Amino acid sequence: MDPRDRNGSVLTVSNGRASRPRVGHHGLKLSDCEVFVDFDNTVTQFDVIDNILECFSINRDWRTFEDAWRTGRIGSKECLEGQLRSVRITREALVAYLSTVSVDPSFGPLVTLLKKHGIQPVIVSDGFSFIIQEILTHQHVGGLVVYANHLQVVGDRLLPAFPYANGCPRCAHCKKVHVLNSQLAGKKAIYIGDGLSDVCPAQHADLVFAKGNLLDACRDMGIPCVAFTDLADVYRDLKKGTRCVSG
């Protein structure tokens, strides 16, 4: 459902069950912030990993892993390891495929806006850094910090590694750690995302832009957030200074 059809563009602050006190939205100064952006379905307009599985798997086993993950029987690390076992694609073919993946048209302008305020946006993804960097390079949005799982292409096999697992039973990449580290360094954290792996970091961020499953979770859990449909909404919001003052 379009979040703006259901509740307007702004989700109200509710019962405050978040784990730490928050700065009021209007108290944030943009230049004091670090901005974390999820990748699949936030920067891209579809889930790239799902599409790779759909296009390059030799069987349908990946759907069984997907169902197990969606119902919480396995975490995303076990899910991705299982799913990638069925994929057959060479590095050359993968790079060619990734060159066809576009990003939200407002992502480039958003990055430019943030850089004007001295902010280098950080991509945090439960996907793979190789895939993300390839897509961003093809879309001429290079040079961003990317925290994601690692991927090695050996022959026609994709071999994952999970340097940021942090012992979490749910996520292969514990995105929360980056938000907490940034706050420890004195920054306020703005978080933009759509998925289940974004729920945990959103609980700790100072300002959250949410859509999709993240928006539903924020509503269920009482995590204050701003609903968005695409990055044009986030761009307009930050440019206008509705919630963050410039400077």
Shortest spacing between CB 53 and Mg ion, in angstroms: 15
**Amino acid in position 195:** G
- With respect to Mg ion, which residue has the nearer C-beta, 41 or 57? 41
- With respect to Mg ion, which residue has the nearer C-beta, 45 or 242? 45
The residue among 133, 125, 123, 130 whose CA lies nearest residue 154 is 130
Q: If you write DSSP's letter for every residue of 106-148 in order, what string do you get?
A: THHHHHHHHHHTT---EEEEEEEHHHHHHHHHHTT----EEEE
For Cα atoms 175, 176, 181, give the angle at the middle one, nearest 5 degrees. Answer: 110
By CB under 5 A, is residue 44 in contact with Mg ion?
no
Shortest spacing between CB 32 and Mg ion, in angstroms: 26
The residue among 100, 88, 84, 90 whose CA lies nearest residue 58 is 88
- With respect to Mg ion, which residue has the nearer C-beta, 30 or 123? 123
Shortest spacing between CB 27 and Mg ion, in angstroms: 28
What would the x/- binding string for Mg ion be over residues 14 to 43, using CB under 5 A? Answer: ------------------------x-xxx-
Shortest spacing between CB 104 and Mg ion, in angstroms: 12
Return the number of other C-beta atoms located less than 10 Å from residue 112's C-beta: 11
Q: Identify the three-state secondary structure at position 160.
A: strand
By CB under 5 A, is residue 195 in contact with Mg ion?
yes
What would the x/- binding string for Mg ion be over residues 211 to 240, using CB under 5 A? Answer: ------------------------------
Shortest spacing between CB 20 and Mg ion, in angstroms: 23
- With respect to Mg ion, which residue has the nearer C-beta, 34 or 194? 194
**In this structure, what token pair is assigned to residue 128?**
């793979």
Q: Give the integer Cα–Cα distance in Å for 213 and 56.
A: 26
By CB under 5 A, is residue 149 in contact with Mg ion?
no
Shortest spacing between CB 170 and Mg ion, in angstroms: 14
The residues, ordered by sequence, that sit 6+ positions from 177 with a Cβ below 8 Å of its Cβ are 164, 166
User: Among 134, 194, 233, 237, which residue interacts with Mg ion (rule: CB under 5 A)?
Assistant: 194
The residue among 218, 176, 177, 171 whose CA lies nearest residue 194 is 218
Q: Which residues bind Mg ion (CB under 5 A)?
A: 38, 40-42, 194-195
